[in-house]
Structure 1
Amino acid sequence: MSIESKGKVAFIGLGVMGYPMAGYLQQKGYQVCVYNRTAAKATAWVNQFGGSQASTPALAAAEASLVFLCVGNDDDVRSVVYGDDGVLASLQPGSVLIDHTTASAELARELSAACETKQIGFLDAPVSGGQAGAENGVLTVMLGGQPSAFDQAETAIMSYSRCAKLLGPAGSGQLTKMVNQICIAGVVQGLAEALNFAQNAGLDGAAVVEVISQGAASSWQMQNRYKTMLNGKYDFGFAVDWMRKDLGIALNEARKNGSHLPLTALVDQFYSEVQQMGGGRWDTSSLLKRFTR
């Protein structure tokens, strides 16, 4: 049975997150045109999901009602938004630009203002859930922007999400993602210390977690990472390099708003040690490796 078309949208950036996210949009009936800096990745996506590809972000965004971005950092976002080949060169009034990149709140406000001059809606929309969440279509999306833009884009965003919430004006999504990463950093460090303690005490770490995960100590990280941590397996998941980028954004924002993040700063230093061990692409749970090297 064919799926009724929901109109043309564009997806810019087909990394480990964007590739499956764009796929869900196509599967839900949107006519997706993709752009990726490495064109072969876009070709592979089209071969797998259908849709179409374009040679520039502007061509991908032409006639699209919604344009999604999922690239690396602030500079990467600017490179696909501005200029003759950027999405703003072809987006029409009444369309909405949705940025899923984890970037700065300052960039979100900048993009919102740039879109407003062209009567284009904007949403900063970083996600949580990692590669597995993207592949399974169960991401959590934290959004900032105007309610009208959110109303226009919500159905499409829910194609690959289980939760999407508008949290305030432009920048609010990025600020919430910073809160998310601050929480994760502390939890993973605590879990690493606890597992190391259990092993040094002669306990069966797996048996210990099976018990304490049923009580107040439980967390997503504990439930999903303790086995791989105890087995020293880290070649998957959300990379340390990405986490350091995110924590750097949070620490910079804290300096601006007067927040004190001593634990976050410390864990960021611990992640730098993991990078020096060659673990930049290891999962963030690799903090335990500092104790066992």
Structure 2
Amino acid sequence: MAKIAFLGLGVMGYPMAGHLKAAGHEVTVYNRTAAKAEAWVAEHGGSHAETPAEAADGADFVLTCVGNDDDLRAICTGDHGVFTGMSEGAILVDHTTVSAKVTRELAGIAAGRGIGYVDAPISGGQAGAENGKLSVMCGGDQAHYDRAEPVISTYAKICRLIGEIGAGQTTKMCNQIAIAGLVQGLSEALHFAEKAGLDGRAVVEVISQGAAGSWQMENRYETMIDGAFDHGFAIDWMRKDLGICLSTGDEIGAALPVTALVDQFYKDVQNMGGNRWDTSALIARLRKLGAV
């Protein structure tokens, strides 16, 4: 069993840290809003720290799952950052979806301190985190990954080292690009069924068993039909991710026309007040257009 610090107790991090504690690891948590860390300790045991550095002190592994590039940089660097508290030989595993640029920046700082670094963004949504069935895509040194993988497997359905530092984040961009197009297609199909007077549930029962089937269809079609959009990854976060996709695409010369279009559709949903709706809310935009 390892001594682990887990930083970031959002809808993903909270249950992930819980799986680690249930598996018998010694877990110290940190969250920017201290009340959430206190609630986690009350539910799971373990301990909570006042600063990232305090949480990381003496830890074999430091796991982070925060919001964006700036959040990650803030908890890693500075007088109270995790790099200040981590010991030489410890490993930082970052589950945040951030740019490969900040990943390489922080991995370089870590290497200068003798600290290992694995970028390990996750996919599977809140349900995947709660059920311990996340997909984890990693970048980093093989030896660091080999040490971290048994810890990550506590809440993962699949975990793979894709390549060097930054490869995990780049793979997560592939994931978000694929999701954007899939959700728009599913939204259009369900909207079309509604307008045609069909029973959407009956339609999905049939087409989900053929070539149109997908995770998004299986897990989101009913809530989309019902207009319930509080079941997953928020649109604000999706637009943050798609922004990374598009800027990286410009840098490497990858054409992403559908991704750029769907990003603008998500902007429309934000303008409808749907910032915190989940990504399946694209259908709400179509319903609004169809009602005009």
Q: TM-score, normalised by structure 1?
A: 0.97
Partner of residue 188, structure 2: 193
- Aligned match for 1:37, one of 8, 32, 36: 32
Partner of residue 136, structure 2: 141
Partner of residue 158, structure 2: 163
The alignment partner of 2:230 has SS state of coil
The alignment partner of 1:260 has SS state of coil
Distance 1:92 1:57 in 2: 13
Q: Does 1:284 align with 2:279?
A: yes
Q: Does 1:127 align with 2:122?
A: yes
The alignment partner of 1:167 has SS state of strand
Distance 1:276 1:233 in 2: 18
Q: Does 1:208 align with 2:206?
A: no
One-letter identity of the residue aligned with 1:210: E
Which has the higher mean CA deviation after the structures are superposed, 234-243 or 168-177?
234-243
Aligned-pair distance for 1:291?
1.7
Distance 1:120 1:235 in 2: 38
The gaps in structure 1 that reach 5 residues or longer are 1-5
One-letter identity of the residue aligned with 1:105: A
Q: Does 1:27 align with 2:11?
A: no
Partner of residue 182, structure 1: 177
Q: Deviations over 1:189-245 (max 9, x none)?
A: 001111111111222111111111110110111111111111111122111111111
Q: Deviations over 1:251-274 (max 9, x none)?
A: 010010001100000000000010
Distance 1:111 1:7 in 2: 23
Which has the higher mean CA deviation after the structures are superposed, 218-227 or 176-185?
218-227
Aligned-pair distance for 1:72?
0.4
Partner of residue 99, structure 2: 104
| Contact 2:227-2:284 at 8 Å conserved across structures | yes
One-letter identity of the residue aligned with 2:252: N
- Please identify runs of 4+ aligned residues in structure 1 that moved more than 2 A: none
| Contact 2:60-2:91 at 8 Å conserved across structures | yes
Partner of residue 56, structure 1: 51
- Aligned match for 1:243, one of 233, 238, 241: 238
Distance 2:126 2:209 in 1: 26
- Aligned match for 1:252, one of 247, 255, 262: 247
The alignment partner of 1:279 has SS state of coil
One-letter identity of the residue aligned with 2:136: V
| Contact 2:2-2:61 at 8 Å conserved across structures | no
Which has the higher mean CA deviation after the structures are superposed, 266-275 or 224-233?
224-233
Q: Does 1:272 align with 2:276?
A: no
Aligned-pair distance for 1:66?
0.2
Distance 1:269 1:250 in 2: 13
One-letter identity of the residue aligned with 1:64: A
- Aligned match for 2:6, one of 11, 32, 35: 11
Distance 1:262 1:171 in 2: 23
Q: Deviations over 1:63-90 (max 9, x none)?
A: 0000000000000001100011001012
Aligned-pair distance for 1:158?
0.6
The alignment partner of 2:163 has SS state of coil
Q: TM-score, normalised by structure 2?
A: 0.97
Distance 1:199 1:34 in 2: 46
One-letter identity of the residue aligned with 2:246: L
The alignment yields a C-alpha RMSD, in angstroms, of 0.7
